[in-house]
Amino acid sequence: KIIPFTDQVKKDLDTVKDQVWLLYEGLKKYKENPNSKDKKRLEDMFNQIFTTKTFSATLNAALKRIYNNKSELLLVLDCPDICRRESFT
């Protein structure tokens, strides 16, 4: 858990959280209706979010750690049908 100690870090954290929720919603929609345009957009969104540099070293480290798991976290972009079936088991 990241605890912001300055207003700027709080702002950075809030911005990242908002972006992550938008990415999550986009991935859920993509899973139901996959297409190459949205795949590229979601990959770009992921890259933009998780390569962002903030005023918090802790937040930057967390973003980098998440970015390093990109292939696993964006698996739905490569196999939306498999991921859809697994979510119901």
Q: What pLDDT digit, counting tens, does each position of 10-54 carry?
A: 999 999 999 999 999 999 999 999 999 999 999 999 999 999 999
Q: Sign of torsion, CA 75 81 86 87?
A: positive
**Whole-model pTM?**
0.88
> What is the chain's percent helix, strand, coil content, to nearest 5?
75, 0, 25
Band (pLDDT 50/70/90 cuts) for residue 74 is very high
Q: How far apart are the first and last CA of the chain?
A: 30
Q: Where are the domains of the chain?
A: 7-86
